[in-house]
Amino acid sequence: MKTRGRLSSAKSVSIPRNWRGDLERVLISSDELSSRTRQLARQIQRDFRGRDLVVVSLLTGTVMFLADLIRYLTLPLHLDFIGVSSYGAGTESGQLVFTKELRLNVRGRDVLLVDDILDTGKTLSRVRAKLRTLKPRRLRICVLLNKKSRRVEKIDADYVGLRFPIIS
């Protein structure tokens, strides 16, 4: 089941003085982020209630979102991390190298893969393929931000916090 968030305007959020030279405006307020993260947690709890849940997070950009998400989850879970690094020209995803492997055995277990941004889909599609070889019972994807307009791989998230672009 997919959840998708809509944003209200963050125009009333002021930019901290020391960031004003670097930022034009705030697109998402901290209240909006918190609210959407709580909503995602509620949906995940409904879908995984009574299951043996393993949350697998991509390192390292996802850590702040992950911390907020699992803070709102009240169901028992196991947590592991997978490290990936993309090497290539510019900011485009190049060759993906796995820098940290899972420590937990996910065979026959429900796995929730958590990432901060689903953009081109190159990284998540490769990580998903790798996790599938480990034979989880069920594999779902949760992302904070979805940039579907930039997608080049066929992959979607099951739980989406916010969609981009934001038009305000």
Residue 44's SS3 state is helix
48 neighbors 26 (Cβ within 8 angstroms): no
- Catalytic residue of the set 110, 116, 119, 158: 119
Residue identified by tokens 């055995």 is: 105
119 is catalytic: yes
Amino acid type, 81: F
> Of 66, 167, 70, whose CA–CA distance to 116 is shortest?
66
81 neighbors 100 (Cβ within 8 angstroms): yes
Query: Which residues does residue 83 pair with via DSSP β-bridges, in sequence order?
Result: 59, 100
Instruction: Please give the distance of CA 135 from its chain centroid, rounded to a whole number.
Output: 21
Take residue 8 and report the two structure tokens written for it: 């209200």
Catalytic residues: 119
